[in-house]
Amino acid sequence: MCLGIPGEIMAVREESGMTFGKVKFGGITREVCLSCIPDAAVGEFVLVHVGFAIAKVDRVEAARAYETLEELGLLAELSDDVPERAVHRPAPEASGPTENGPREVP
């Protein structure tokens, strides 16, 4: 929560006046609010705090920071809610890792 987690923007969409993106963090993809990152584009990297992007970072910085966070065991926030979503809101897309790509958390 103190440290943002860098991820790659895979898709960008507008919804009710806000900008959202699908952002890939290692093997997991999450929806992230991009409203405070003007001109956020697919292929760019952003630093994300609890589903909210606060800065752009470059690819090398993103990869370094992600690896360090992984070593520090500080990536739990990305998946803390996953078991619960299965209980409260079953979603076929959220059923687990796929052979073809990263696990999707809608």
Among 34, 37, 44, which residue's Cα sits nearest to residue 9? 44
CB of 56 to other proteins, least distance (A): 9
Distance from C-alpha of 92 to C-alpha of 95, rounded to nearest angstrom: 6
Please work out the total of residues on this chain that contact other proteins, with binding judged by CB under 8 A.
44
Choose, by CB under 8 A, the member of 43, 71, 90, 99 that binds other proteins. 71
Element (H, E) at 46: strand 45-49
Element (H, E) at 83: helix 82-88
Residue with tokens 């609010």: 33
Query: What residues from 25 to 54 belong to the interface with other proteins (CB under 8 A)?
Result: 30-33, 35-38, 47, 49-52, 54
* Residues lying near other proteins in the complex (CB under 8 A): 1-4, 16-18, 30-33, 35-38, 47, 49-52, 54-55, 57-58, 60-61, 63-65, 67-68, 71-74, 76-78, 80-81, 84, 88-89, 105
